[in-house]
Amino acid sequence: MIYFDNAATSFPKPPMVARAMAGTLNKIGGNPGRAGHSLSLCGGRVIQRCREVLAEAFGAKAPEQVIFTSGCTEALNLAIRGMLHQGDQVLCSHGEHNAVMRPLKELEAAGQITVRVLKPNSLGLVTPEAIEEAVTPKTALCVLCHASNVTGVVQPVAKLSGTLKKFGIPLLVDAAQTAGVLPVSLGELGADMIALPGHKGLLGPHGTGVLVLGEGMLPRPLIMGGTGSMSERMRQPEALPDRYESGTPNLPGIAGLLAGARFALHHRAEIEAYEQELSARLRYGLERMRGIRVLGHPGAEKLGVVSFVPAFMDPGELADQLAAAGFALRSGLHCAPSIHQWLGTLHSGACRASVGIYNTEEEVDRLLEAVDRALGQR
């Protein structure tokens, strides 16, 4: 099977990821932060080292501002639910994933907040003018997807953050598709919080995610419980990261994330260039096929996500034929119905091929040949 579903999760992982995870299970085993014996302390040092690496990479002033979660979805929910209050307005882009839209719409349906979706320009980009037009005295948060998981289009987040700062509005960036691939940090993006998965561009295992908190960002916790600290108190600790990390930490996952992140961040610029080259090759080939519509304006900056819609067959049928030919792609709405509605593909969905570091030019060419054959059979 040739894997082209890296936007869902990167695969395969670098070999050191599995070794790091197995090492914690086979050699450490203790519960980090829950005892003073050597096995517990060793596990705690692994987690702290991962926190330090990610804090440096993503611009947190202190490692304690790196909060481990079960994934980007939990990180986004923590930031959204923890920052908003009754009567607040939230701004978001048209390209948000359901990890953003569903908690926002749930809060809106309960009458707690209002949501304003920012209209993009013809390139699919949010503009400073759209933000200025949408801001009201009740605007308390802006959530922006750094890059679409459908079109791959990269939003000009750094430019937009300047406009938000004029109004004092905090910015939460969903870096699900960009962390580990594009330059991402609190400073570079002008963000106040960044949510990211550990299992995509950072090449870590499933079930890992991070919320990076900027100065002054203290959302209310989603989950409360045992932290191994201040156990004499029945109220949740205020100190970071314990305020947000209740229960036994995912030591094997965080160890794997540390190994994957070290590799990905060390080679980030090379990874970005390589994935851009592969995805450009794929887009070029698809755009020259009759009966294929490639999503995303050609003039917009993109990353390695290529979605396309066949004119004379269902995208799911095409994906099934490609799977039978040995290719792993994804079809459907990709948990982002808002952007499909804007693209006019809400009912059809799309096929999505997303490249990764282990894909090759030969594999891209073989995929293009397989798509062409499938279209020719109609």
Cα–Cα nearest to 216, from 83, 47, 19: 83
Which residue type is seen at 266?
A: H
- Write the CA distances from 180 to 197, 204, 257, 331, 357, integer angstroms: 10, 11, 12, 24, 11
Compute the mean pLDDT over every residue in the chain, rounded to the nearest whole number.
Answer: 96
Which of 35-39, 160-164, 312-316 shows the lowest mean pLDDT across its residues?
A: 35-39
Rounded to the nearest 5 percent, the helix, strand and coil shares of the chain are 40, 15, 45
Which of 197-201, 328-332, 373-377 shows the lowest mean pLDDT across its residues?
A: 373-377
Looking at residue 38, its pLDDT comes to 87
- Classify strands 209-213 and 193-197 as parallel, antiparallel or unpaired: antiparallel
Looking at residue 143, its pLDDT comes to 98
- Rounded distance, CA 112 to CA 103, Å? 11
- Rounded distance, CA 338 to CA 283, Å? 23
Q: Is the pLDDT of residue 378 over 70?
A: no
Average pLDDT for residues 65-92, to the nearest whole number? 98
Looking at residue 226, its pLDDT comes to 83
For residue range 174-185, list pLDDT tens digits in order: 999 999 999 999
Going by pLDDT thresholds of 50, 70 and 90, the confidence category of residue 39 is confident
Of residues 226 and 197, more confidently modeled = 197
- Rounded distance, CA 196 to CA 140, Å? 21
Looking at residue 34, its pLDDT comes to 83
Of residues 376 and 45, more confidently modeled = 45
Cα–Cα nearest to 53, from 45, 38, 63: 63
- Classify strands 305-310 and 193-197 as parallel, antiparallel or unpaired: unpaired
- Rounded distance, CA 350 to CA 330, Å? 8
Cα–Cα nearest to 66, from 253, 205, 214: 214
Q: Where are the alpha helices (DSSP H) in 168-250?
A: 186-189
Measured in whole angstroms, how far is the alpha carbon of residue 135 from the centre of its chain? 25
Which of 35-39, 130-134, 204-208 shows the lowest mean pLDDT across its residues?
A: 35-39
**DSSP-derived 3-state class of residue 67:** strand
In the chain, what are the domains? 15-266 (3.40.640.10), 268-376 (3.90.1150.10)
pLDDT exceeding 90 applies to what percent of the chain?
90
Place of tokens 């550990």: 198
Average pLDDT for residues 57-63, to the nearest whole number? 98
Q: Is the pLDDT of residue 126 over 90?
A: yes
- Rounded distance, CA 98 to CA 131, Å? 21
Looking at residue 158, its pLDDT comes to 97
- Write the CA distances from 82 to 185, 220, 349, integer angstroms: 21, 4, 32
Q: Is the pLDDT of residue 24 over 70?
A: yes
Average pLDDT for residues 123-136, to the nearest whole number? 97
Average pLDDT for residues 170-174, to the nearest whole number? 98
Tell me the backbone φ, ψ of residue 133, rounded to 5 degrees.
Answer: -70, -30
Going by pLDDT thresholds of 50, 70 and 90, the confidence category of residue 233 is confident
- Write the CA distances from 1 to 19, 310, 359, 364, integer angstroms: 23, 22, 12, 13
For residue range 341-372, list pLDDT tens digits in order: 999 999 999 999 999 999 999 999 999 999 99
Looking at residue 30, its pLDDT comes to 87
For residue range 257-271, list pLDDT tens digits in order: 999 999 999 999 999
Q: Which helix (H) or strand (E) holds 159?
A: helix 157-167
For residue range 319-340, list pLDDT tens digits in order: 999 999 999 999 999 999 999 9
